[in-house]
Chains A and B, each alone.
Chain A
Amino acid sequence: MPKRKLDPLPSAAFQILLALAGEDLHGYGIMRQVEEQSEGRIRLGPGTLYSSVQTLLEAKFIEEVDAREDAKLGHERRRYYRLTAGGRKLARSEADRLADLLRVARTKKIFRGEYV
């Protein structure tokens, strides 16, 4: 069931996969990372974030690692998430797909000058 939900891969899920590509993160960390990598355009709300996290967990594209404190955020213990090998593969194939699309878009000359 979850796999079907991830095909096509929703943008939120892809962003989470990309956010976790660098390092293991807790929920708030993922949210901040996504905000940063999308240049402030995407701020995942708790519902969307954890709903996607749950789906990705169930499909084993990410996994939980031991809960620990984040020194920057006080003494609360937080659940951290890590990208699995399957998740990395999924992110790569999604990136490839987008790159293909981008190539097509370039040949159709739909970009303004600065992107070409």
Chain B
Amino acid sequence: MSEKIYACLLRLFPAGFREAHGEEALQLFRDRARHETGFLLRVRLWFDLLADLVISIPREYHRAQPALIGAAHQHLDGAPTFFVLGNESPRAGALVSGCVLSLAALSMFSILLGRLGSYRPQRASVAQQQSAGDAQRSTARVGAQRSGGTGENARLGTSPVRQFPAPGAAGSGQYYERRDASQPNPPARENAQILEAQSQPARDPNTIVVRPADPNLDPTERRRVTDAVANNIRAHYFDPGVGRKMAETLLEREKRGDYNVVTDGDAFARLLTRQMRDVSQDKHLEVVYSENRLPERPLAPTPDVMARYREELQQGNCTFEKVEILPHNIGYLKLNSFPDPAICQSTAKAAMASLNHADAIIFDLRDNRGGFAGMVLLISSYLFDHPEYMYDPRFAPTPESWTSSPVPGNQLADKPVYVLTSSTTISAAEQFCYDLKMLKRATLVGETTHGSAHSGVWYRIDDHFGMGVPETKTINPYAKSDWEGIGVEPDVRVQPGDALVTSEKLAENKLRQK
């Protein structure tokens, strides 16, 4: 048996070697096998043989090369030349196994192709409809795919309960409930955020709610959606002038028959999104298509859901995955969401207190999918010695938009801060990054963040279409645009896997300079 195995392995050598010494090599193997019996000796024998193969096979092929080098002199300019490495014709067995392998590879390829196709049918049709070279279009498309956490979830068919911002769940920072205009400063601002990821139909005379649609986009449905979108932006967009202009543009195009070629819901949603953004330059505007039915009567968090959320958070230590002191007295906090401060305040305070004596602090937000602005403020409060405005594109400034610094007994206000980022640093986590970067309070290490501000209010249009409309104009004190669709750039760009080591080095150097 083992002789057969070795005979097979010998075939790895070039034909020349096998002809000259193949039989002898096999004979040598037999001699050794006969004399080296017992488990340990056998293991040693095979170890020797394998090591020998690894070393000598490349050498033997290298030895075969000079013949080719000689042949290369015959090469004529422009004429392709071919060399035969082996001087024997392939064995029948080799031909058969070659055929089987190619067939297997081919069928694997076609199966994969089929599977990929069925995952994203809309993408394929959109690709056909959209011209390839249009840069602005593709930007809009990326924006649409990135921002719509609700839409993505709905496309994936998650249930309303799953869409609840569970600790660390994907895309937990999403659209919030529409606020009543008569209540300028909503009492339960965080409660509104609990509703993120849940679509809330605005029962408002200005909002058009049409009857359930056929998933195949027919002209009637298309017109209904266009009308509803136009009405929603006219009624709810914070800048009425721009809202009107967008609505007119859409209606005009619909009338002109521009949309007649679009028969795919997802493509249509993205087309409308792009056209609205073209007019308003506002990346928070978005129309979302969901293949699955969008929940109709969501979704005030029932006590049941609230209890589950609370329990999940408490079981998972409020997503404070790691709180520790690294070498050189560097504090390290890995936080995987910004959980509801109403539930997790004490956990957050305990975590920050345990890092109080650190000389520098690293916030690891590489897996942080967002959450509550209140928690962003609570944690940021430890990083300043005076109240600081934490800009949030979702809300106009209120007294709660300032950190409650200084925190009594806190010693972290002047310590160097590093924030680790990745492309899965999302929403509220991006707010934390953005504000600390703009305030020059932290060094961001890692990748550009995800690029989801989620600052629109969600309107359900029908079973398959919904849209996000920003209703409040928030003034960004730092720049024209926030991180919607573009993400927050790191100060030190490294692979997420290297971010921790890099930040530790940066912190060490900084501490040494002191």
A43, A47, A79: the one contacting B56 at CB < 8 Å is A47
Docked-complex contact A31 and B28, CB < 8 angstroms: yes
A111 on the interface (CB 8 Å rule)? no
Known: A1-B66, A28-B31, A28-B32. A46 touches B55 (CB 8 A): no
Docked-complex contact A53 and B51, CB < 8 angstroms: no
A49 on the interface (CB 8 Å rule)? yes
How many residues of B are counted as interface, with CB atoms below 8 angstroms from the partner's CB atoms? 23
Residues in B whose Cβ lies below 8 Å from that of A88: none
Docked-complex contact B60 and A46, CB < 8 angstroms: no
Residues in B whose Cβ lies below 8 Å from that of A11: none
A31, A51, A78: the one contacting B60 at CB < 8 Å is A51
Docked-complex contact A50 and B48, CB < 8 angstroms: no
Docked-complex contact B57 and A47, CB < 8 angstroms: yes
B20, B27, B49: the one contacting A45 at CB < 8 Å is B49
CA distance A44 to B32 in the complex (A): 11
B170 on the interface (CB 8 Å rule)? no
B43 on the interface (CB 8 Å rule)? no
Residues in A whose Cβ lies below 8 Å from that of B63: 51
**What is the count of residue pairs linking A and B with beta-carbon distances less than 8 angstroms?**
58
How many residues of A are counted as interface, with CB atoms below 8 angstroms from the partner's CB atoms? 19
Residue of A whose beta carbon sits closest to that of B54: A47
CB of B68, distance to nearest CB on chain A (Å):
13
CA distance A28 to B51 in the complex (A): 18
B238 on the interface (CB 8 Å rule)? no
Docked-complex contact A50 and B55, CB < 8 angstroms: no
Main secondary structure of the interface of B (DSSP, over half): helix
Docked-complex contact A45 and B31, CB < 8 angstroms: no
Residue of B whose beta carbon sits closest to that of A78: B27
CB of A96, distance to nearest CB on chain B (Å):
27
Give B27-78 interface residues, CB cut-off 8 Å to A: 27-29, 31-32, 48-49, 51-53, 55-57, 59-60, 63, 66
Residues in A whose Cβ lies below 8 Å from that of B31: 28, 73
Give A65-106 interface residues, CB cut-off 8 Å to B: 73, 76, 78-79
Docked-complex contact A47 and B60, CB < 8 angstroms: yes
B24 on the interface (CB 8 Å rule)? yes
Per-position 1/0 for A10-49, Cβ under 8 A of B: 0000000000000000011001000000000001111111
Main secondary structure of the interface of A (DSSP, over half): helix
Docked-complex contact A51 and B48, CB < 8 angstroms: no
Residue of A whose beta carbon sits closest to that of B25: A46
Residue of A whose beta carbon sits closest to that of B52: A45
CB of B318, distance to nearest CB on chain A (Å):
60
Known: A1-B66, A47-B57. A27 touches B48 (CB 8 A): no
CA distance A45 to B32 in the complex (A): 10
B255 on the interface (CB 8 Å rule)? no
B395 on the interface (CB 8 Å rule)? no
CA distance A88 to B349 in the complex (A): 84
Per-position 1/0 for B1-28, Cβ under 8 A of A: 0000000000001000100110011011
Docked-complex contact A50 and B29, CB < 8 angstroms: no
Residues in A whose Cβ lies below 8 Å from that of B55: 45, 47-48
Residue of A whose beta carbon sits closest to that of B51: A45
CB of B349, distance to nearest CB on chain A (Å):
65
Residues in B whose Cβ lies below 8 Å from that of A46: 21, 24-25, 28-29, 49, 52
Q: Which residues in A have some Cβ–Cβ distance to B below 8 Å?
A: 1, 27-28, 31, 43-51, 53-54, 73, 76, 78-79
13 residue pairs from A and B, CB less than 8 Å apart: A28-B32, A44-B52, A45-B49, A45-B52, A46-B25, A46-B29, A47-B25, A47-B52, A47-B55, A49-B28, A50-B17, A73-B31, A78-B24
